[in-house]
Structure 1
Amino acid sequence: MNSRQIATKPNLKKRILAGLIDYSLIFGVLLIMFIYFGEKDSEGIHITGFPAFANILIWFAYMVGFEAKYGGTLGNLVFDLQVISIKDSNSTSLTLGQSFIRHLFDMLDLWFFGLLGILLIKNTQYNQRLGDLCAQTIVIDTKDQSQFYKRFA
């Protein structure tokens, strides 16, 4: 077997549920920020200054930092999904930069109820969404022995 072989599956159900957990947490934090720091005006409620910046920091720490450190977000880990780098043949560890690139494309992948992400996951060679393609990553189910990258190094 080739040491650089990649075997993935779409894992769509798990990936969708993991995304729901992650974005529920992010939107929950955003809701709390609006409740406690929101300012009402004629156009509605908005947040500015540090509370607005704090949302970006929280998103970055959770989505990017947590994923880079643990190989997945909380939603991914609940469903035994792991994000793996296929960029470097010497390491499967995800870098902070790769995680950031993956999540920069989240809004495009989630466009129209996730249609773009689902279409890409189902139709790309390694079941990658746009963020995965750009960051050179794959998502595998760690409990499924038929999914791997560089299993026999």
Structure 2
Amino acid sequence: MNNPKYIGRRIIAGFIDYTIIIFLTFLYLKYFGEINEEGAYSVSGLKTLPIIIFWLIYFCGFETILSSTLGNLIVGLKPVNINTEKNITIKESFLRHLVDPIDMCCFGIIGIILIKNSETNQRLGDILAKTKVIKN
């Protein structure tokens, strides 16, 4: 079975998406955070809510409404339901990204290994959400 894995495109898309997330989080921390004991900016309590909301809007909202994040749009990929190949739901998107810290661990090596060794080219988040990534 010849299923394209789009590893290079997925790496570029992930880099774009997480660059956006990290940059905007950095800006938020700089302007709304306080300097902690280590000399870094941090937020706590309700001030963390905007970061979580932005993450939800960026990943879950974009994937549900636009069918892709900006990174995936740029490289021409989109996540779909593995069984129907229809656009994913907000629940599927949430599940896909819930385990991003594991998939992205060690510069994405875990996600890449899973994609390369999965018959359906799924990383851990895709397996959990029952989704896969296809060319748009």
Superposed pair shares fold, TM > 0.5: yes
Identity of aligned residues (%): 40
Task: Give the structure 2 partner of residue 79 of structure 1.
Answer: 75
How do residues 1-150 of structure 1 correspond to structure 2 at under 5 angstroms? 8-44=3-39, 45-87=41-83, 89=84, 92-142=86-136
Q: Which amino acid aligns with 1:125?
A: E
More helix as a share of residues: 2
Unaligned runs of 5+ in 1: 1-5, 143-153
Unaligned runs of 5+ in 2: none
Q: TM-score scaled to structure 2, two decimals?
A: 0.92
SS in 2 for 1:9: coil
Q: TM-score scaled to structure 1, two decimals?
A: 0.82
More displaced stretch, 122-131 vs 6-15: 6-15
Q: Which has the larger radius of gyration?
A: 1
- Of the two structures, which has the highest relative contact order with CA contacts closer than 8 Å and spacing of 6 or more? 1
RMSD (Å) for aligned C-alpha atoms:
1.7
Q: Measure, in 2, the Cα distance between the counterparts of 1:41 and 1:119.
A: 37
Q: Report how many aligned residue pairs link the two structures.
A: 135
Q: Measure, in 2, the Cα distance between the counterparts of 1:53 and 1:33.
A: 11
**Structure 1 consecutive aligned stretches of length 4 or more whose deviation exceeds 3 Å:** none
Q: Measure, in 1, the Cα distance between the counterparts of 2:2 and 2:50.
A: 39
Q: Which amino acid aligns with 1:78?
A: I
